């Protein structure tokens, strides 16, 4: 999971539904709400007769619940009793699903030690290097540098540095991957980035604070997620709600996906992404754009359209946590790149992108669309990103 914000503080001017703030990737550490008199009365807060019917009460929910109001001991006792009964009821929704692992009795040091052991054994597939924000890490940067604990550059590149890049260089230099070395790499080595003008986009931050992923903890292999240097787990209390929300979303989207696969003949027998793309190339109305990069970004693996919509399809191997994460990052980055360039220099961007696709395919013009037709597709049609997987769990 990645997002545009690592931390934020927001105030809503008007009444806002809690469900409007739901976000699977958000982690709410504090909630400050203002409730009206009817809700306050429902949880046991008492009012004097002379108080206005429009009187509101401020609540702060963090590690404890703070009621910003003077209370008598008897009133406090009544509130606690009602809140206890309320807490015992079934939850109707979850504002967010992640809680700190330490609150569930899992030590941060134990999880970090498991991460160190996994990396020492070159088990990297569950983690990615994202900086502060994955889209910005890919799009807004001209230079990437990994700094060792002595301040010297270990890697210096003009393309996004990945964990695989770091470990490939470690092996190339024949550095022994001991647990002590990996611990030092994670906790003392840093990464920094600068834009084309030399301005810092990402100030030097420890590697462990700019990677994201999960380890499987204990005998039951419980997934624990590293986000911004802290470890989180899914709260089991909300698993039923999450499953229900996923089922509703799946049932809504599956009809659209099935129709699209049939109409565009997308269901191809293929062992991997390369083989699938070769099959797609046989379709006269599909532009295969796999590996055609613009600003280090793959806008789509394949492009096709109907009367109203332009579809940008991205593909990955298996529909699992790792595959979904990588595909989501690819789609979000592509959407950001597309939006930025359409706003600033639409014709130039689309012309260059079309030429890059043709160069990748070793052709001068694509049979599905000329350059002018290609540009018009992006300008006139609604754009829909499509997530594709070859294998299910």
Average pLDDT over residues 197-220: 92
pLDDT digits (tens, 9 = 90+) for 282-315: 999 999 999 999 988 999 999 999 999 999 999 9
Task: Scan for tokens 């191997």, then name that residue.
Answer: 317
pLDDT band at 10 (very low <50, low <70, confident <90, very high): low
Pair of tokens at residue 118? 């996994």
C-alpha 372 chain-centroid distance: 34
pTM score: 0.74
**Cα(16)–Cα(33) distance, integer angstroms:** 10
3-class secondary structure, 238: helix
- More confident call, 25 vs 106: 106
Angle at which helix 108-120 crosses helix 179-188, to 10 degrees, equals 120
Burial of 287-297, coded b for 16+ CB within 10 Å and e otherwise, reads bbbbebebeeb
Mean pLDDT for the chain overall: 87
pLDDT digits (tens, 9 = 90+) for 263-279: 999 998 888 888 899 99
pLDDT band at 3 (very low <50, low <70, confident <90, very high): very low
3-class secondary structure, 124: coil
Q: Are 146 and 166 in contact (CB under 8 A)?
A: yes
Identify which of 326, 276, 358, 351 has the alpha carbon closest to the alpha carbon of residue 163. Answer: 326
Say whether pLDDT at 12 is over 60: no
**Cα(35)–Cα(15) distance, integer angstroms:** 10
pLDDT digits (tens, 9 = 90+) for 145-160: 999 999 999 999 999 9
Q: Are 208 and 88 in contact (CB under 8 A)?
A: no
Element (H, E) at 128: strand 127-129
322-330 long-range CB contacts below 8 Å, 24 or more apart? 322/125, 322/126, 323/389, 324/387, 325/1, 325/2, 325/128, 326/128, 327/387, 327/389, 328/1, 328/2, 328/387, 329/2, 329/128, 329/130, 329/134, 330/298
pLDDT digits (tens, 9 = 90+) for 22-40: 555 566 667 788 888 888 9
């Amino acid at each position: 999971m990645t997002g545009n914000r690592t931390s934020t503080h927001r105030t809503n001017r008007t009444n806002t539904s809690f469900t409007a703030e739901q976000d699977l990737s958000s982690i709410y550490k504090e909630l400050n709400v203002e409730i009206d008199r009817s809700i306050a009365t429902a949880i046991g807060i008492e009012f004097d007769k002379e108080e206005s019917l429009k009187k509101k009460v401020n609540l702060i929910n963090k590690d404890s619940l703070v009621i910003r109001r003077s209370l008598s001991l008897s009133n406090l006792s009544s509130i606690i009793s009602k809140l206890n009964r309320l807490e015992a009821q079934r939850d109707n929704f979850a504002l967010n699903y992640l809680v700190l692992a330490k609150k569930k009795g899992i030590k941060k040091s134990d999880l970090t030690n498991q991460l160190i052991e996994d990396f020492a054994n070159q088990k990297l597939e569950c983690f990615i290097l994202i900086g502060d924000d994955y889209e910005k890490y890919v799009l807004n940067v001209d230079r990437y540098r990994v700094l060792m604990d002595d301040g010297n550059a270990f890697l210096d590149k003009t393309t996004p540095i990945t964990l695989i890049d770091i470990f490939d260089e470690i092996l190339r230099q024949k550095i022994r991957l001991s647990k002590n070395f990996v611990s030092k790499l994670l906790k003392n080595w840093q990464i920094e980035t600068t834009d084309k003008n030399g301005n810092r986009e990402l100030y030097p931050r420890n590697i462990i604070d700019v990677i994201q992923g999960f380890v499987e903890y204990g005998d039951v292999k419980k997934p624990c997620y590293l986000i911004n240097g802290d470890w989180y787990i899914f709260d089991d209390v909300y698993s039923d709600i999450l499953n229900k929300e996923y089922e509703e979303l799946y049932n809504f989207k599956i009809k659209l996906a099935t129709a699209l696969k049939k109409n565009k003949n997308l269901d191809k027998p293929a062992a991997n992404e390369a083989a699938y793309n070769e099959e797609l190339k046989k379709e006269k109305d599909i532009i295969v754009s796999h590996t055609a990069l613009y600003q280090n970004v793959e806008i789509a693996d394949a492009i096709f359209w109907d009367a109203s919509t332009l579809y940008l399809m991205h593909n990955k191997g298996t529909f699992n946590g790792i595959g979904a994460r990588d595909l989501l990052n690819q789609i979000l980055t592509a959407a950001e790149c597309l939006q930025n360039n359409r706003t600033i220099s639409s014709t130039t961007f689309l012309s260059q992108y079309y030429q890059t696709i043709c160069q990748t395919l070793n052709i001068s013009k694509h049979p599905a669309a000329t350059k002018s037709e290609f540009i018009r597709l992006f300008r006139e049609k609604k754009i829909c990103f499509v997530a594709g997987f070859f294998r299910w769990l």
